Every structure is written in structure tokens, then in C-alpha cells.
Amino acid sequence: KLRENVIFIDIEATGLYPSTDRIIQIAMLKIKNNGLIETYHKYINPCMSKAAQMEAFQIHHISPEMLSKKNTFASHVQEIYDFIGETKYLCAHNVWSDWNYLFAEFTRSGKVWANLLANKDITLIDTNKLTIKAFPSCDRQSLQSLSNYLSIVITHNDVNKIFDKSDDQTQNSVFKIESAANLHDARTDTMVTKLLIFKAIEKLFSQTHSKFFSLRDIVEKHPYSATKTSLLELLDKFNDETNNESDSMLLDLANNHITSLKMARGKLIKDLSSFYLQQEIFYFSKNLKDINKEREVKLRKLILKYNKA
């Protein structure tokens, strides 16, 4: 059991860029420290043309026709905010991406909502980075690959047992999740992520014999997998000329940041050579449409500025 409340979240979207793409499905699985489970699930109308959604449709099979009958994100923003409530830990696979989409939609819903979400100062825990450490022999760190590697299977019945009938259940005739090969449904992915973090905890904390586990232990012993949302806000404001007290906070984040790039995957960026870091900065700087890549570049610049001086 966990000592703290945690929410496992997964988001499906119309594309890869939160600044221009929209959320079409959101699922949250809250596990309380008393063992009780709460769920939230909705399909969202992205208010985009069918043509703009078809590329993503090939992956998640959520039909634009069905989505056009759903409510917009702004219609659900209050209940999503309320569901998060006082929970201080948000867990996902590639959690920065899910947070980017969530924050972008809150921002579109109004500055007040963006400020309210930002003020929660949530700790984001990334199972992608935890599993790189826990299961280094797994060739790829996608949910599908890890599910196959760890023999995780989520069935339709499993989802129906967890996600309450009052949640949005109207999708869809092609909803098949009888094997690990059929992911990209937000509900399924949250359930897989929950299993992943417990398997990672079992592997990384094998010497712990207590029946209760604190998420603070992950933050303290595996800091590369956890980020406070307040630090992401600072990082987004960071520029090359800054030189103030906030830099020290960001430097700590940079020092503990594990790279996801294929050639150096699993290594802390502070352990990479100056030449390698400069090459990466040059490569990513040519195409910075993805906010996660923008942040990666800023973290590398911080390392070069302070650690490699």
C-alpha cells in the first residue's frame, strides 16, 4: 500500500504538440492511502475538423464522429480540477507530456484555471524513467513493450471493474484490450501504469519489507523520475541570460534529469560530455515545436553553464 494518495493519468490527443493539438480522452485512476479507488474518464470534443484528427485516429481508433457529440474540455474543467483535489502526486508514462496537455487545456479554459492548476504544485512521477532503471534489459520503454516484457495483460472486464459505469463509456465498437498489444486507450494505459510503478517499486526497493511504501522514497532515491510542477514553470521561463537564485533550483533538476534519447538513454545528462551536450543542443534547437524538447535543451544549457564551466 502507498502512504500517500496518487493519481495515475493518461491522455489521448489529436497529435504530438500540446500547443496546437487537443485532448480527446482523459482517464484518471486515484488510489487513496486507505486503499480506496476513485476513477474519472471522459471523451472530449476537440473542436477540430475530421481531417485534422485522422492521423491520430489510426493509433487510438477514437472516431471524430463520436467525439463531435461530446462536450468540450472547458465543460469538464471544474470536475477535473475537483477530482485532482488535494492529491500531490500525479503519475504517468512520460508524465511531462500528459501534464503539458492538461495544462494547455486548463490555459485555454481561462487564465484563472491555469493559475489554479499551477498553484497545486504537484509532484510528477514518470514511470518511463523508473522502468529504464528498474528494467534496463527491456529493449524499449513504451507501455506496450513493457507490458509484453512483464507479461501484463488488461482485459475489457478489468477496465469495467475499475472504471465506474457513471464514467463516459460510450466508446466504441473497436475497443479491444484483451492483450498488451492493444493499448492507446486512456483507461487501459492508466491501469498498466499503476501496475508498472508497483513492479518498479518491487524491483528498486527489494530490501524494503514494510507493507506500506511512501512515494517520497521515489523522489528522494530516484529523483530523475520526479519533478515538481513549479519547477517546470520556472524552467519554461528560463532563458540563456538568467543568472539568479532560481537557477540553483533548476540546476538540481538538470543534474537529476535522465535523458530519453536512444543513444544515451538511461544516463543522467550531467554525466555526458560537453561535446555531446552541445551536439544535442544544436540538433534540438533546429526544431523546437515540442515543449519537452525545449525543456531538454534548457536543462542541457544549465549543465553546460554551471557544471561544465
> Computed from CA positions of residues 65, 66, 70, 74, in that sequence, does the dihedral angle turn out positive or negative?
negative
* Angle formed at CA 159 by CA 156 and CA 164, multiple of 5 degrees: 130
The yes-or-no verdict on residue 284 having pLDDT over 80 is no
With CA atoms as reference, report the closest residue to 40 among 28, 24, 30. 28
| pLDDT (mean) for 8-24 | 95
Q: Contact 153/179 with Cβ under 8 angstroms?
A: yes
pLDDT digits (tens, 9 = 90+) for 111-148: 999 999 999 999 999 999 999 999 989 988 899 999 99
Query: β-strand 6-13 against 89-92: which pairing, if any?
Result: parallel
Provide the pLDDT for residue 173: 33
Phi, psi of 116 (to 5 degrees): -60, -45
pLDDT digits (tens, 9 = 90+) for 20-42: 999 999 999 999 988 899 999 99
Cell 525543456, residue located: 295
Greatest mean pLDDT among 58-67, 173-182, 199-208: 58-67
Provide the pLDDT for residue 170: 47
Q: Determine if the pTM surpasses 0.85.
A: yes
Q: How far is CA 240 from the centre of its chain?
A: 27
Provide the pLDDT for residue 171: 44
| Cα 142 to Cα 157: distance, rounded to the nearest angstrom | 23
Inter-axis angle of helices 229-237 and 95-108, nearest 10? 70
pLDDT digits (tens, 9 = 90+) for 200-256: 999 999 876 677 889 999 999 999 999 999 999 999 888 766 667 788 889 999 999
With CA atoms as reference, report the closest residue to 253 among 282, 224, 216. 224
| pLDDT bucket at 183, cuts 50 / 70 / 90 | low
